[in-house]
């Protein structure tokens, strides 16, 4: 529940006089969300969301609101902020900075399909490209430096297993050239509960209050770690493939991004493991905070460290042309995925490695077990 600052009918009616949005018909507090006080507001001209900001400074809010306006004007489905009669996006209500934005239609989805992940990938790439014209910069709240010092502060309070994992991961993270990855404006928290879908189609993205300047790949990794995972934390290959393919159709990756994709997935998993651990070990007082499970992201991190593996059944009855089956499955996979193909056609022992080498994949192993022939590949850069 998160209406920290109540608003009476009279206060809201008075506040609405500042806006060219007609008069109040109805309003209700929004129970979801944990950071701010939010209300659905219906006036004679439409439906809006009123937010009273509980933590951010006016300077930060000016960045978030002008960025949201920029993205809305570029056709990105975000909740457009409304200007008051003075042309200001930010106002004040009950001593809190306050803003009105358009209410987006639709609901959050829990179980996205590959098609919905693709839609999100396309939108994220468009968001990144259109952010190029946005002149303001904002350092990340949870960037590489934050991860390093938060890990150092939490380490003494973790049990041996978690401390060993964290220490090793921090050492690894310092080998990643984050500064060299292409960067720009990113959303930085685009989880499923920050996107709305209407009739199966993406209708909007909300909660831009972590937006900042950071690596685009990192933003995509945050998305994939939330949208394209199985319940054990492993990547769901059809969903992640759909998302990455759609993203890269709009903004193709640079070679360094191919090289550091797996590493960036680890950085993104680490970020949420740390913020959730921090929230658990250093709870904020006074607020009703929804405690999210840190283990979810530790498990995701462990899977990303172990790298992903997929097994393909290319036995003769299922597939007369095993090399085609492998080709279709491997196409558009990111680098570093281990693919094990099981075939009954002995020709596959020659054909698949020959095809793989031509396409830049590494043949890790070929072996025969009775009538089954097994080829293990590691994907190279698509």
Ligand X SMILES: N[C@@H](CCOP(=O)(O)O)C(=O)O
**Given the complex with ligand X, which of 189 and 219 has the nearer CB atom?**
189
Q: Which of 17, 321, 4, 306 is closest to 165 using CA atoms?
A: 306
Residue 141 sits in the site that holds ligand ADP (CB under 6 A): no
Tell me whether residue 56 or residue 292 sits nearer to ligand X (CB atom).
Answer: 292
User: Is there binding between residue 32 and ligand ADP (CB under 6 A)?
Assistant: yes
Instruction: Say how many residues touch ligand ADP, by CB under 6 A.
Output: 16
**Residue 79 engages ligand ADP in binding (rule: CB under 6 A):** yes
- Angle at the Cα of 104 from the Cα atoms of 98 and 108, rounded to 5 degrees: 110
CA dihedral 168, 174, 180, 184 (to 10 degrees): 80
Query: Near ligand ADP by CB under 6 A, which window of 99-107, 238-246, 300-308, 366-374?
Result: 99-107
For ligand X, the nearest residue by Cβ is 275
Does 319 qualify as catalytic in the annotation?
A: yes
- Give the residue among 106, 97, 64 at the shortest CA–CA distance from 81: 64
Cα(57)–Cα(70) distance, integer angstroms:
20
Strand 338-343 relative to strand 372-378, pairing: antiparallel
DSSP secondary structure code for residue 155 in this structure: G
Complex with ligand X: residue 243 or 269, whichever CB lies closer: 269
Among 42, 66, 72, 103, binds ligand ADP (CB under 6 A): 103
Binding site for ligand X (CB under 6 A): 142, 189, 191, 272, 275-276, 279, 292
Residues 180-219 contacting ligand ADP, CB under 6 A: 193, 206-207
What CA–CA distance (Å, rounded) separates 245 from 331? 10
68 binds ligand ADP (CB under 6 A): no
The nearer residue to ligand ADP, 50 or 312, going by C-beta atoms, is: 50
User: Minimum distance between the CB of residue 342 and ligand X, rounded to whole angstroms?
Assistant: 37
DSSP count for the chain of H helices, then E strands: 12, 13
The tokens describing 284, both together, are 């904020």
Output the CA torsion sign for 273, 275, 278, 280.
negative
Residues in the chain: 382
- Which residue ranges make up the site for ligand ADP (CB under 6 A)? 2, 30, 32-36, 38, 49, 79, 101, 103-104, 193, 206-207
Q: What are the residue numbers of the active site?
A: 319
């Amino acid at each position: 529940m998160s209406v920290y600052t109540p608003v009476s009918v009279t206060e809201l009616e008075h506040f609405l006089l500042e806006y060219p949005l007609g008069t109040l018909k109805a309003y209700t507090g929004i129970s979801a969300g944990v950071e701010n006080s939010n209300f659905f507001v219906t006036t004679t001209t439409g439906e809006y969301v009123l937010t009273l900001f509980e933590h951010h400074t006016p300077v930060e809010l000016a960045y978030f609101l002008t960025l949201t306006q920029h993205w809305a004007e570029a056709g990105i489905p975000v909740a457009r902020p409304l200007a008051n009669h003075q042309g200001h996006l930010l106002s004040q209500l009950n001593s809190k900075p306050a803003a009105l934005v358009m209410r987006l239609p639709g609901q959050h989805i829990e179980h996205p399909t590959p098609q919905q992940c693709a839609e999100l990938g396309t939108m994220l790439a468009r968001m990144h490209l259109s952010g190029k014209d946005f002149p303001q910069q904002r350092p990340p709240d949870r960037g590489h430096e934050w991860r390093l010092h938060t890990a150092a502060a939490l380490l003494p309070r973790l049990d041996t297993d978690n401390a060993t994992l964290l220490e090793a991961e921090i050492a690894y993270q310092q080998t990643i050239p984050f500064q060299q990855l292409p960067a720009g404006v990113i959303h930085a928290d685009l989880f499923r509960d920050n996107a709305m879908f209407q009739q199966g189609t993406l209708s909007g993205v909300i909660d831009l209050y972590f937006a900042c300047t950071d690596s685009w790949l990192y933003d995509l990794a945050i998305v994939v770690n939330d949208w394209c995972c199985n319940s054990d934390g492993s990547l769901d290959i059809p969903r992640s493939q759909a998302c990455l393919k759609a993203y890269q159709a709009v903004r193709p990756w640079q070679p360094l991004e191919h090289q550091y994709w797996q590493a960036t997935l680890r950085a993104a998993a680490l970020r949420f493991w740390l913020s959730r651990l921090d929230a658990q070990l250093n709870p904020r007082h006074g607020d009703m905070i929804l405690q999210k499970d840190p283990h979810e992201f530790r498990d995701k991190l462990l899977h990303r460290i172990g790298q992903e593996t997929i097994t393909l059944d290319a036995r003769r009855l299922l597939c007369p042309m095993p090399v085609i089956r492998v080709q279709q499955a491997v196409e558009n996979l990111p680098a570093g995925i281990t693919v094990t193909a099981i075939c009954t056609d002995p020709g596959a022992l020659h054909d698949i490695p020959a095809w793989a080498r031509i396409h830049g994949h590494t043949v890790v192993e070929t072996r025969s077990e009775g009538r089954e022939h097994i080829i293990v590949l590691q994907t190279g850069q698509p």
